[in-house]
Structure 1
Amino acid sequence: MEAINEAIFLAGLLLLLSILAGRVSSRLGAPLLLVFLGLGMLAGEDGPGRIQFHDFHTAYLMGSMALAVILFDGGLRTPAETFRLARGPAFSLATLGVLVTAVGTGALASFLLGLGWAEGFLVGAIIASTDAAAVFFLLNLRGMALRGRVSATLEVESGLNDPMAVLLTVLAVEMVLTPTGLSLPMLTLEFLQQLIGGAVLGLAGGFLLVWLVNRLDLADGLYPILAVSFSLFIFGGAQAAGASGFLAVYLAGFILGNRRHKADRLIRRFHDGLAWLAQIGLFVMLGLLVTPSRLEPYLLPGGLVAGGLMLLARPLAVFLCLAPFRFTLAERIYVSWVGLRGAVPIVLATIPVLAGVPGADAYFAVAFVVVLLSLLIQGWTVGPAARLLGLLAPPQPDPPTRADVDLPDGSGQLAVFTVARDSEAALRGRGRLLIPETVQMLALIQNGRPVRPEDAVGLQPGDTVLAMGDQEALAVMDRLFGRRVAALQERPAGDFQIQADMPAAAVGGMYGFDTGGKDGDSLADYVRQRLGRTPALGDRVRVGEIDLIVAAMEGDHASLIGIDLTPPTGGLDALRSRWREMRRHIPRRRTPEKPAADAAE
């Protein structure tokens, strides 16, 4: 009994310390996941905590469940527009890209570690996929906005590439243990079963979950429990059926997050906290699993493998897979660099240990060193690399203070807004606001007293507005009541912005470029034609000597176009220009002036 109480106490203490350490590290700019991992190592047998944990079966079980929760939350927060924008490049990276990375890294591992081809390929397969946990959290917690297509590609890729990594890892284990028992038809069939089976079960499960949420009459607190239990059911069922549980649970979350149901806000808020708990628990547990003193012999070879992965194998895979999709050089470099490794490679590294592969402890150690360096080097430079390459999207207005209540029939939401001090609503007044037709303003509270909206003369900062509408329309209201962005001072949006519905020919006449289109084409139409696809936030189009920048979006259409009068000239010149711009913002240390007597000497 005493041991159980001590275990509960230590678990609570580790979670509490993780939250506090994460708060401190965020101010220092350190990757949060690295902090959680380091805290687990400190609590382990080589650290002050002296906790001994070497149970790989438990680690694989708990790690798989935590990843299922994280992937479900990632799918829940992936808008359909983001998925459509990135499905082509993301699927290419998640399949061919993982294979190329595994083969390239495996060849390097064979050469650097003195392994056979099968053993080297096993190392490459373990660390071939980007990690959804690392990508989702590090991209979204940096307080920065990447160009829409780049961010979407990285996030969707990390949600889709786990099936390929699992398949290649299992294949490599079989190659090491039974090198003569493999056949290409069987491998192809297994891959299709993993991919197609995971997709079918995930989509079907997602629609079934939406149906259950809308049909069952439950207490509010039970809807999130229904969602998380169903996500684990989908994950475990798919794995048991020989399909990819990782893909299935991601797609189930995606369907739930993009279909209308009556518990949307309840489920999202619950899963936000649950994903944090899964993330912290996962990395702390993996930190406990490793023994730092045993890593010393693998630091140099693991570092060389990590360098080869980051600088050779991943860039080769990215440039090959993104070649058909018209990504710029800067975008391809960034996608190559932000191939973050995290919990997935460590969890996959337990598979050879559980399968009894000779030398599996060494593969686990190398994978851990690679993850550690990826979080330390790549994770710490996610923001600076985006600024250096000029891939930051135009800043968007902060959402207002808002509380939502889902309507019982799933037809919409009640939203309570607080008018921000420098919002459009406070500056323009209610009569000049463009409010969507599907939104009804029900009540207004000014100076603590209720006022009918039709009787209000204007809106003041701090006023409370009660409105009803669907999610898309309420998102428009977010921009009206939230703080405005001083866009004219933000370089990601260009020197100034104009409305995207202006005639393209007129804008071309003012700035010296030929649109070559019909007279009735708008600037948004022209940008879409030049891109050859649906535009995304932050996309740039070079016309003559200026850049047109997608500065704001409404659905699938650009609503605001930025004009950059002095754009980077492209390639290495662009990098040099960004580097010079960043250096101007770095404070320089002044040399103290010498006393007059010393100067005279």
Structure 2
Amino acid sequence: MATLLTAFACVLLLAVLLSSLAHRTILSTAALFLVAGFVLGDGVLGVVSVKATDPLVGTLAELALFAVLFSDGMRVGWQDLRAAWRLPGRALGWGLPLTLVITAVGAHYLAGLGWIESLLVGAILAPTDPVFAAALVGNEKVPPRLRQLLNVESGVNDGLALPFVILFLAIAQGSADLHLGELGLELGVGVVIGVAVPWLAIKLEQTRWFAASTQYEPLNALAIGLLVLALGKATHGNLFLAAFSAGITVATFGPRQRESFEHFGELIAELFKLAALLLFGALVTPALLGSVGWTGWLFALGALVLARPVAIWLSFLGSGLSVREQAAVAWFGPKGFASVVYGLLVLGSGIAASLQVFQLVAVTIVLSILLHSSTDIVVARGFDDEREVPAWFGRLRRRGGES
């Protein structure tokens, strides 16, 4: 534990010292933690020794995904969804399920998985992560509707993919038929807790008897999140749907709480994400990368350059987006943190194909992080109108205006 904590602290310090450089170049903080975990893991240096069955891995993955879904939900209240639903609705309503199905077809025919396990892989890899497209989303030269589309889609699709992951995993475990009612109850209880707890807490603060001070205001949403987590554990409700529902409820009924918690919450979620990426990298050994064979790598490449682009192209027919905008949306479907945690959950589930599923997910995520985090700035610059005009033409145009 001490060794792992030391390794995380050292890599975190390095990431902080390089963060300014990372914002200006293709260097990615997420990629840094992934590579550090890989190098420090059993497959290379053996400094960080972890197994998928270690309680620490499961606990950290659970807490990290809870924090991320809570933060994601808080970014997309109902008002935001209603105001900007036309384009994200296409990506989520059509793009997500189409990506899932096309990815599942590839897993079945290239990797030889059964259809249920293939659908499970598709559900795990369907969500996108905005972290690896930060330069695109944060560039003001990129059309606002495109940035809004990527922001809303990546904030919502983790939660939308989750029920599919749970369902296909239950079927693969052979328990869906016997416990379908129990599974539905678990999901329903999670949603009820996620809506009721923050709503009551916010309404309580709005009464004349209570008021949060400026100093403690950021802790309001944190307390709500912890209470949702505790009640979810106590009632066996689904923690992840509870977290996502709670985030949306806070964003909808407590805009002040949302605003005060935003920066603080993102830092907490980021810490959990980076720690989980370090452990994930330690589990991805050279032996694992080599064991998937050429068909596994071909599947990973197809999941990135075929499944998402085809799904987005079909989803946005007649949408009014330019070819360049559609190409940017199609390419920036990076497989990120949610897929990492879903893969870890499957690895610890005990299903017969758990290792093969994890291997396919792992190589796809590794390839995605390396490709997407190193191309976001390049694609973002393509939207800079000044860069599309040659320097000599700009000088000639200015001289013409002076004469």
TM bin (shorter chain): 0.7 to 0.9
**8 Å Cα contact 2:88/2:149 also seen in 1:** yes
1:413 aligns to what? none
What displacement does 1:62 show?
1.4
Counterparts of 2:77 and 2:159, CA distance in 1: 22
Q: 2:149 aligns with which of 136, 148, 153?
A: 153
Once the 2 structures are TM-superposed, how far is the Cα of residue 129 of structure 1 from its aligned partner? 1.8
1:279: which partner in 2?
A: 273
Q: Cα–Cα, structure 1 residues 139 and 178, in superposed 2: closer, same or farther, change >3 Å? A: same
- Structure 2, unmatched stretches of 5+, are 393-403
2:125 corresponds to which letter in structure 1? Answer: I
Check whether the contact 1:85–1:152 (CA below 8 A) recurs between aligned residues: no
Look up the match of 2:199: 207
Superposed displacement of residue 201, structure 1: 4.7
Distance in 2 between residues matched to 1:45 and 1:585, nearest whole Å: 51
The 5 Å alignment of 1:57-72 reads 57-72=55-70
Partner residue in 1 for 2:33: 36
> Per-residue deviation at 1:63?
2.0
> CA 1:118–1:134 in 2, change beyond 3 Å: closer, same or farther?
same
Equivalent residue number for residue 117 of structure 2: 119
Structure 1 residues 233 and 111: alpha-carbon distance in aligned structure 2, compared to 1, 3 A threshold: same
Describe how 1:578-593 pairs up with structure 2 within 5 A.
581=388, 584=390
Deviation at 1:235, TM superposition (A): 5.0
Range with bigger deviation, 279-288 or 370-379: 279-288
The answer to whether the aligner puts 1:249 opposite 2:243 as a matched pair is yes
The answer for the alignment partner of 2:91 in structure 1 is 93
Per residue, is there more strand in 1 or in 2? 1
Amino acid at match of 2:38: M
Q: Is the 8 A contact 1:53 1:289 kept in 2?
A: yes
From the two aligned structures, give the one with the greater helix fraction. Answer: 2
Q: List gaps (5 residues or longer) in structure 1.
A: 393-489, 492-577, 587-601
Amino acid at match of 1:154: L
8 Å CA contact 1:71, 1:133 repeated in 2: no
* More moved, 340-349 vs 148-157: 148-157
Residue 331 (structure 1) aligned with residue 329 (structure 2): no
Deviations 1:5-52 (A, max 9, x none): 555444432322332344444443222211121122222223446210
Which residue of the other structure, out of 328, 348, 354, is the alignment partner of 2:348? Answer: 354
Q: Shift of the alpha carbon at 1:92? A: 4.6
User: What is the percentage of aligned positions where both structures have the same residue?
Assistant: 26
Asked if structure 1 preserves the Cα contact closer than 8 Å seen for 2:40 and 2:48, the reply is yes
8 Å CA contact retained: 2:3, 2:47: no
Moved more, 276-285 or 264-273: 264-273
Q: Deviations over 1:366-421 (max 9, x none)?
A: 21110111121123222322443x4x6xxxxxxxxxxxxxxxxxxxxxxxxxxxxx
Residue 45 (1) aligns with residue 42 (2): yes
Change (3 A) 1:232 1:151: farther
User: Is residue 2:315 matched to residue 1:321?
Assistant: yes
Q: What amino acid is aligned across from residue 120 of structure 2 in structure 1?
A: L
Partner residue of 1:83? 81
Q: Does residue 1:173 correspond to 2:169, yes or no?
A: yes
2:295 aligns with 301
With over 3 angstroms needed to count, the CA separation of the structure-2 counterparts of 1:145 and 1:316, relative to structure 1, is same
Query: CA shift at 1:348, angstroms?
Result: 0.9
Q: Matched residues in 1 for 2:275 and 2:45: separation?
A: 19
Whichever residue aligns with residue 170 of structure 1, its letter is: I
C-alpha distance in 1, partners of 2:275/2:372? Answer: 22
Residue 385 of structure 2 corresponds to residue 379 of structure 1: no
**Structure 1 261/322 Cα, relative in aligned 2: closer, same or farther at 3 Å?**
closer
Amino acid at match of 1:302: G
Contact 2:135 2:377 in 1 (8 A): no
1:460 maps to what in 2?
A: none
- Residue by residue over 1:522-546, the C-alpha shift from the partner in whole angstroms, topping out at 9 and shown as x without a partner, is xxxxxxxxxxxxxxxxxxxxxxxxx
2-side partners of 1:228 and 1:272: how far apart? 11
CA-atom RMSD, angstroms? 3.7
1:339, distance to aligned residue in structure 2 (A): 0.8
Q: How does 1:431-510 map to 2 (within 5 A)?
A: none
Summarize the Cα distance change of 1:81–1:170 in structure 2 as closer, same or farther, 3 Å threshold.
closer
Give the aligned residue type for 1:152.
Q
Q: Distance in 2 between matches of 1:70 and 1:277?
A: 10
How far apart, in 2, do the equivalents of 1:167 and 1:103 lie?
15
